[in-house]
Chains A and B, each alone.
Chain A
Amino acid sequence: MTNTDATSQDPGTRPAHAPILSLRGISKSFGAVSALTDIELDIHPGEVVALVGDNGAGKSTLVKILAGVHQPTAGTIEFDGKEVSIASPGAALGLGIATVFQDLALCENLDVVANLFLGHELSALRLDEVSMEVKAWTLLRELAARIPSVREPIASLSGGQRQTVAIARSLLLSPKIIMLDEPTAALGVAQTAEVLNLIERVRDRGLGVIMISHNMEDVRAVADRVVVLRLGRNNGIFTPDASNQELVAAITGATENAVSRRRDRKAAQHSAVEEIAL
Chain B
Amino acid sequence: MIQNSQPALDRSDERVRHDETLSGALKGFLDRIRSGDLGTLPVVVGLIVISAVFTYLNPVFIAPDNIVNMLFDCATVGVISLGIVCVLMLGEIDLSVGSMSGFASAIVGVLWVNHGWPIAAAIAVAICAGAVCGGIYALLFNRLGMPSFIASLSGLLAILGMQLYILGPTGSINLPYTSPFVMFGQILIMPGWCAYILAVLPGAVMVLTGMSTRTRRLAANLSARPLTAVLLRAGLMTIGLVLAVYYLSLGRGVPWMFGMFVGFVVVMNYALTRTKWGRSMTAIGGNREAARRAGINVRLIYTSAFVLCSTLAALGGILSCARLASSSQQAGTGDVNLNAIAAAVIGGTSLFGGRGSAWSALLGIIVIQAISNGLTLLNLPSSLRYMITGGVLAIAVIVDSLARRSRASHGRA
Contact with A along B318-358 (1 / 0, CB 8 A): 00000000000000000000000000000000000011000
- For this complex, into which size category does the number of interface residues on chain A fall? 35 or more
Whether B10 contacts A150 by the Cβ 8 Å rule is: yes
Judge if A125 is at the interface, Cβ distance under 8 Å: yes
Contact digits for B1-27, partner A, Cβ 8 Å, 1 yes 0 no: 000000001100101100000000000
The CA of A121 and the CA of B276, in the complex, are separated in Å by: 6
- CB contacts under 8 Å to B, within A77-100, are 89-90, 93, 99
- State which of B104-112, B149-157, B290-298 sits at the interface with chain A: B290-298
Asked if A133 contacts B411 (CB within 8 A), the reply is no
Is the Cβ of B274 less than 8 Å from the Cβ of A127?
yes
Q: How far is B293's CA from A131's CA once the two chains are assembled, in angstroms?
A: 23
Mostly, the A contact residues are loop
Cβ–Cβ < 8 Å partners of B279 in chain A: 110, 114, 118, 121, 127
Q: How far is the CB of A249 from chain B (nearest CB, A)?
A: 36
Within 8 A of B (CB), among A157-171: 157, 169
Query: A107-B283, A148-B15 are contacts. A118–B220 as well, Cβ < 8 Å?
Result: no
B window 268-312: CB within 8 A of A: 274-277, 279-280, 282-283, 285-287, 289-296
Interface contact B13-A146, CB-CB below 8 Å: yes
- C-alpha gap A249/B292 in the complex (Å): 39
How far is B294's CA from A101's CA once the two chains are assembled, in angstroms? 11
Contact B10 A149 (CB under 8 A): yes
How many residues in B have their beta carbons less than 8 Å from beta carbons of A?
38
Chain B residue at minimal CB-CB distance from A154: B413
Query: Which residue, A89, A109, A124, has most C-beta atoms of chain B within 10 A?
Result: A109
Cβ-defined partner of B216 (8 Å) among A118, A124, A130 = A130
A211 to B283, CA, bound (A): 27
- Complex: chain B residue closest to A150, CB-CB: B10
Q: Does A156 contact B (CB under 8 A)?
A: yes
Answer yes or no: B205 CB below 8 A from chain A CBs.
no
Q: Does B179 contact A (CB under 8 A)?
A: no
Interface residues of B in 351-402 (CB under 8 A from A): 354-355
Cβ-based interface call for B412 (8 A): yes
A156 touches B296 (CB 8 A): no
The residue in chain B whose Cβ has the minimal distance to the Cβ of A90 is B295
| CB pair B283 A149 closer than 8 Å | no
**Complex contacts, B10 vs chain A, CB 8 Å:** 133, 137, 149-151
Q: How far is the CB of B268 from chain A (nearest CB, A)?
A: 14
Q: B277 to chain A: which residues have CB within 8 Å?
A: 124
Q: Is A119 in contact with B287, judged by CB distance below 8 angstroms?
A: no
Query: A228 → chain B, closest Cβ, in Å?
Result: 27
Any chain A CB within 8 A of the CB of B408?
yes
Which of B216, B277, B282, B295 has the most A CB atoms < 10 Å from its CB?
Answer: B295
Q: Indicate which residue in B213, B283, B412 contacts A118 across the interface (CB closer than 8 Å).
A: B283
Q: A89-B295, A118-B291, A150-B10 are in contact. Are A109 and B413 (CB under 8 A)?
A: yes
CB distance from A21 to the nearest CB of B (A): 20
Q: Are A105 and B294 in contact (CB under 8 A)?
A: yes
The reply on A108 being an interface residue by CB < 8 A is yes
Residue of A93, A126, A151, A156 near B412 (CB, 8 A) is A156
Contacts of B13 in A (CB 8 A): 146-149
CB distance from A143 to the nearest CB of B (A): 14
Determine if B190 is an interface residue (Cβ-Cβ < 8 Å): no
Chain A residues closer than 8 Å to B282, beta-carbon distance: 107, 109-110, 114
User: Are A155 and B222 closer than 8 Å at their CB atoms?
Assistant: no
A154 to B213, CA, bound (A): 24
B34 surroundings in chain A (CB, below 8 A):
none
Q: How far is the CA of A18 from the CA of B133 in the complex (A)?
A: 55
What residues of A have a CB within 8 angstroms of the CB of B276 in the complex?
121, 124-125, 127
With an 8 A cutoff between CB atoms, is B233 at the interface?
A: no
Q: Which residue of A lies closest to B271 (CB)?
A: A125
Q: How far is the CA of A131 from the CA of B221 in the complex (A)?
A: 11
Closest chain A CB from B235 CB (angstroms):
24
A92 nearest CB neighbor, chain B only: B295
Contact B213 A153 (CB under 8 A): no
Closest chain B residue to A101, Cβ basis = B293
Cβ–Cβ < 8 Å partners of B213 in chain A: 130
Within 8 A of B (CB), among A113-152: 114, 118-121, 124-127, 130-131, 133-134, 137, 146-151
A108 to B354, CA, bound (A): 9
Q: How far is the CB of A205 from chain B (nearest CB, A)?
A: 21
Identify the 8 closest CB pairs spanning chains A and B, nearest first. Answer: A155-B413, A156-B411, A109-B286, A124-B276, A119-B294, A105-B290, A107-B286, A108-B413
Could you name 26 residue pairs across A and B whose Cβ atoms are closer than 8 Å? Answer: A89-B295, A105-B290, A106-B290, A107-B291, A108-B286, A109-B286, A109-B287, A114-B283, A118-B279, A118-B283, A118-B296, A119-B280, A119-B294, A120-B294, A120-B295, A124-B276, A127-B274, A127-B276, A134-B221, A137-B9, A150-B10, A155-B411, A155-B413, A156-B411, A156-B413, A169-B294
Which B residues are closer than 8 A to A by beta carbons?
A: 9-10, 13, 15-16, 213, 216-217, 220-222, 274-277, 279-280, 282-283, 285-287, 289-296, 354-355, 407-408, 410-413
